Amino acid sequence: MSDLSPGKQGLIIGVKDQQLSFLQYLDEKGIGIGKTVTTIKHDPYDQSMIISMDQKEINLSGKAAGLIFIKSL
């Protein structure tokens, strides 16, 4: 996901990490396969992101964003 430029939309198609703690983290944020997201802001310093999904903004760490596979729309 970290390659998705601000203002661009993408479809979540998978995750790189299958550890339970990471999957629970995504679930708590409402992030899942098949969801459409829009990048609001991408911080080049720490790679953190603010995304929009289901009409809410979600903060993601750079590490988490790098573990989510996205198909650009």
* 22, part of any domain: yes
Q: Is the CB of residue 2 less than 8 Å from the CB of residue 47?
A: yes
* 21, part of any domain: yes
Domain of residue 21, residue span = 9-72
CATH number of residue 28's parent domain = 2.30.30.90
Burial of 49 (0-12, 13-18, 19+ CB in 10 A): buried
Query: What one-character-per-residue DSSP string does 7-63 give?
Result: T-EEEEEEES---HHHHHHHHHHT--TT-EEEEEEE-TTT--EEEEETTEEEEE-HH
pLDDT at 53: 95
pLDDT at 55: 92
* Mean pLDDT of the region 17-42: 95
In the predicted model, is pLDDT for residue 18 greater than 90?
A: yes
pLDDT tens sequence across 34-72? 999 999 999 999 999 999 999 999 999 999 999 999 999
* 3, part of any domain: no
Domain count for the chain, please give it: 1
